[in-house]
Amino acid sequence: EKGQSLKGKHFVVTSGGTREPIDPVRFISNASSGKQGTAIAQSLLDRGAKVSFIYGASDVPPPPGADAIAVGSAQEMYEAVHQALPAEGAIFCAAVADWRPKQAGREKIKKQAGATDAPSIEMVLNPDILKSVAQLEGAARPQLVVGFAAETENLVDHARAKRQRKGCDWLLANDVSPEMGTFGGDQNKITFFRSDAPEEWDTMSKKDVADKLADAIATTFKGS
Ligand code: PMT
């Protein structure tokens, strides 16, 4: 029974891919479909939670019933997340660009007639949204901060180090090598960290991942 186990609790959930503008018509992004993040928001809503759903480019609509805020770039996502706080929990499923073009041209970059070379794009670091929330202090910090780790090699070691570095409480690592079909697909294979000890979940639908996570969250908040 999902019931109302998270009634009265507020969660911030990020989902989808950010788009980092190069000029008014071009951007750098990734293949996130938003399916996993949307499923997580839905599972929290199903348990009675209030959800602020902050989403970038997605193939699926935001879940009905969420307070949904559409954003473009990582910087916009950062602002929207911090505006949506405080919350009891925050789950960072968005595929956020680590870097953005230093200058987003106001006008479309023109291809010069007869040019044989191509422009180089200088990149700068984006803010780390998850880390910025995990490092908040006192009442400003959600009690439970959950990150994801998208890895293509050495998943357990990289994910364990990422959890430490970002300061999140729980972390869900997934293999995003193209043959896994994690980006855009309907299935996911999670290695779950509540501590340094990895817990292997079977391959399951993104909905089942979301339900399993939401049940773990509900257990954690039981009685609080
Ligand atoms: O959207 P789908 O097609 O359903 O695919 C789901 C998914 C593969 C995108 C998802 O399960 C997933 O792995 N999301 C995290 C993608 C990612 O950006 O991973 P990362 O290892 O680069 O980042 C680690 C964590 O920091 C993530 O929680 C990320 O949201 C967060 N982050 C990263 C960079 C940044 N500037 N700010 C962040 O908050």
ipTM of the complex: 0.99
pLDDT on residue 3: 79
Q: How is the chain split into domains, by residue range? A: 10-99+124-221
190 lines ligand 1 (CB under 6 A): no
**What is the pLDDT, as a whole number, of residue 180?**
93
pLDDT tens per residue across all 224 residues of the chain: 577 899 999 999 999 999 999 999 999 999 999 999 999 999 999 999 999 999 999 999 999 999 999 999 999 999 999 999 999 999 999 999 999 999 998 899 988 888 889 989 999 999 999 999 999 999 999 999 999 999 999 999 999 999 999 999 999 999 999 999 999 999 999 999 999 999 999 999 999 999 999 999 999 999 77
pLDDT the model gives residue 111: 86
Backbone torsions φ then ψ of 117, nearest 5 degrees: -105, 175
**How many Å apart are CA 145 and CA 217, to the nearest integer?**
11
Domain 10-99+124-221 falls in which CATH fold? Rossmann fold (3.40.50)
Three-state DSSP class for residue 116: coil
pTM above 0.90, yes or no: yes
Alpha helical stretches, state H, the chain: 35-46, 74-84, 129-134, 155-166, 206-221
Instruction: Report d(CA 111, CA 103) in Å as an integer.
Output: 17
198: β partners:
193
Distance in Å, CA 32 to ligand 1 centroid: 9
Could you tell me if 52 and 84 are in contact, meaning their C-beta atoms sit under 8 angstroms apart?
A: yes
Phi/psi of residue 207, nearest 5 degrees: -65, -45
Atom of ligand 1 nearest to the CA of 162: 24
Helices (H) and strands (E) in the chain, counts: 5, 12
Ligand 1, atom 14: closest residue by C-alpha: 93
Between CA 13 and CA 28 the distance in angstroms is: 22
CB of residue 55 inside a 6 A radius of ligand 1: no
